[in-house]
Structure 1
Amino acid sequence: MSVIIRKSLLELLFSGAFMKRWNDKLRPMELVEVDKQAHKMIVAWLLFLLNSGDMEVARKRALGEAIVEGGLFDYLYRLVITDIKPPVFYRIKENPEDYRTLTNWVLNELRPRIMPLGQEFMDRMGEYLMQPEDKGLARRILHAAHLYASYSEFKLLKSINRMDHELTEIEASFVDRLEAMRDLNGVGELLDEDNNVLGRFARMCGRLRFQKRWSQTPRVPETSVLGHMFIVAAYSWFFSTEVGACRARRQNNFFSGLFHDLPELLTRDIISPVKGASREIADLIHEYEIRELNRVVLAPLKEGGYAEIADRLEYFLGLEVGSEFKATFMRDGEVLEASEEQLCGEANRDSLDPKDGPLLKVCDSLAAYIEAHTALKNGISSDQLHHALYRIRMRYNETPVIAGVQVSALLADFD
C-alpha cells in the first residue's frame, strides 16, 4: 500500500501544541507536549551521534531510523494518553495485561488517522508500543532524552512550587534514572550541563520554547519556535516516506526540520515581511545569523571536541550552499547541490547522504499554514493570519507539486 499524507494526519501531529504539561503545577509559562518532544528529539540526535561513532554505516542508519520512528511512535501515543499522570501510567505499565489493554485502545483511537501511512507502519508501531521492556540502544537513547527534556521542564517550575510535597521525590526520580544511564555516551555531560559545551548546547536548544512565533499576532494555540521545529521535522519524515526517499534522506530531512530554525536562538523569530523587505535586508539578517551561529554554537562545539555534531549541523542548515532549503548530496566529502530529478533518481542513495531542501520548505509552509488556519478556526480574526493563508496558497497554486508532494491539492482539503 502506498503512503498518502492527508490533512487529518497533519492536524493530529499539530495537536500537541494544545496539550498542556505539568498541568497540576504552578507554571511560569504554558509547557506543551510538542515543545517537550522537540527538545527530546534534539537530545536523542546528540546521543545518537555520540553512541554510534564506531558503527558500520548500515547499522548506524538502522539505529537512526529506529530512533526517529520510535520518537514518533511515542509522540502519537502521548497524544492519546496525555491526561494520565506519569505515576499512574508507570503503575499501568507494571501490569502487562493492563498495559496491553490500554495500548490496544490507543492504537484503535489512532488507526483512522494513521492508516493512510500503510499497514506496515501500523504493524511497526504496534510492535514497538507492545514491547515497553525492550532495552535496545534506540529505546535507551529515547528514554534518556525523554528524561532530560522532562527534567529541563521541571527545573523551570521548581523555584515557584517550593511548597509542593511532590517536588523532592520528582527531582530525585529524574536524577536517579538519568544517573543509571551514564553508560550512554553524553548522559554524564547532560547531567552536568553547566560545565561542558554539550550540556550547554542541549539547554540552549530548550530555550527556543520561550520564543513565540507570530509574536505580533494573537493565536490559539500559541506556538513556539521549538515546537514548530518538531512539527516540521515530523512532516518532513512522513512526506519523505510518501515520495520514496532513501533511509539517509529520510533521516536528514527529519533532523534538518528539527534544527532549521536554530539560528533564531540568536536573532529571534523575524517575520517574513521584514526578511523580504529587500534583498539587502535579507542578506544582512542571514550574514548576522551565520556569524552568531558560528560564534555561539559551532565554534564552541568544535573546540569542545564535538566536531561531528557541528559538521552535521552545518550540513542540515545548508551553510555550505547558502540555505537550508536547497537540495544537496555528498560525494567524496564535498557538499553538492542537487536538482529535483537527481534527488529523486541517482542521488536518492544512502551512500550519497541526500537532503531535501525544497521538501523542507514545503513542510515549513504547511506548518505555518496550519498554525494560521487553526487560529482562525478557533475564532481569532486577524488580517495577518488571512494574509498568510492567501500568500501560501498563491505560492503553491503557481507551483502545485514540489519535491513530489501535491501541495496545492493538500491545501485544498482545508477549505
Structure 2
Amino acid sequence: MSREETEPVSDTLRRLAPQVLGALVRRYGRFDPAEDAVQEALLKAARQWPDTGIPERPFGWLLQVASRKLIDLLRADQARREREVRAAREDVGGPVGDADDTLILLLLCCHPSLSAASQIALTLRAVGGLTTKEIARMFLTSEDSMTRRISRAKRTVQDSGVPFRMPPEEERSERLGAVLHVLYLIFTEGYSATSGPDVRRGDLVAEAIRLAGLTAALLPDDSEAAGLLALMLLTDARSPARVTEQGELVPLHEQDRTRWKAESIRRGVELVTAALPRGPVGPYQLQAAIAAVHDEAPNAEETDWRQIVGLYRLLLKVSASPVAKVSHAVAVGMADGPAAGLEVLEALENRDRRFYAARAHLLEKAGERERARDAYLRAAELATNIRQVRYLNACARRLSEGAGHD
C-alpha cells in the first residue's frame, strides 16, 4: 500500500504543496502567480479527493491543475497589461491612429506659456477627461471660475500656433519634464492639500497616479516617467495609516506599517529598481528611491537614515528644491544627531512651514522643549491646511503640558 493511500488527504496536500510550488517557479519563474495557482490546485484537491480518493500520481495531478491555472493567470495578466497600454493610447476621445497622440496632447496641455495652475487644469480636462465641475471641486473654486481658466488656457495654446505634433528633439526633453512636473504637482496637492478640511485629496491622488501610469506606458524607456509613477505609489502606500479615524495627522514614525499598501510598495520598488540602472538618474527616481527605503524598513527605528542622507545628497545635485533641502537636514539629524541636522537646517534661507516644522522636530529630539514649542507654533501660523494647523498646535501643546510636569 502506497504512502498516499494511508495518509490523510490534508497531510498529502501539505507535503506536496512546496514540491509543486518549486516545480512551477522553476518552470515559469513567477513566484506570486505560481503560489496562487498552487493554492487553487490544493483547494480543488481538498474538495474532490475525499470523495474520489487520492489519485495514483497526486504530485502529477496537482502539478497539472496548478500549471493550467498559472497559464490562465499569466494570460490574464498579459491581457490586463495590454488593455492598460491600449487604454493609455486611447485615453482621449476614443481610439487614435497614433499612440503618440495622447503624449502630444499632454505636451500641449503643459505648454510653457501657461501658468502651472492652468497647465494642471487643462491636463485634467483634456487628458484626464474630468468635467469642469469636477476640476473646480478639486481646487475648491467655482465652476465659472474654472471654466474661464480652462478657456483662457485653450486660447493661449491655440494662439501660440504650436502644431499638433511631437516637438523637435531639442525641445522634447524640456517639454516632457514639464509634463512630469505637472503630474507631480497634481499628486502633491492631493497627498498634502494646501487648503480645505482634509489632509489628503483622494480624487487628485488617484487621478495623478492614473495619468502618471498613462505617461509611463507611453514612454516605456523614460526612467523619470517610471520614477515619478514609483514615487507616487510608494508615497501613497502610506495613506491608510497617515491619518486617524478622525482625520488627524499621524507622523511617519508613529504610523502602523501593517496598514500600508503592500501591493503599491511592491510595484513602486519594482519600477524604481528597473529605472535606476537605465539612467540618466533624475529627481523623481531619487525621490522614489528615498521613499522605497522608508517603505521597506520594518519599523521606524530600523530606517536606513545614512542611505537616505546619501540619496538626498545626490538629489540636491540634480534638483536643490527647498523641500529637498529641508528633508536632507532632517535626514542628517536622524543619522548623525539633531545638532548636526540643525546645523544644516539653519543654513537654509527659505523659511516656510516645513522649515519650522523640521526645526521643531530636531529641537525636540535635542531636548530643547521650549524652542521646539515656539517652532511648532510658528509652523502652525504658516500652515494653510486646518489638519496641519491642528497637528502642529497639538505638538506645541504637548510640549507645554510636559514642561508643566518637569
Regarding TM over 0.5, the answer is: no
Structure ID, larger Rg: 2
Whichever structure has more helix as a proportion of its residues is 2
Normalised to the residue count of structure 2, the TM-score between the two structures is 0.31
Normalised to the residue count of structure 1, the TM-score between the two structures is 0.31
Higher RCO (Cα < 8 Å, 6 or more apart): 1
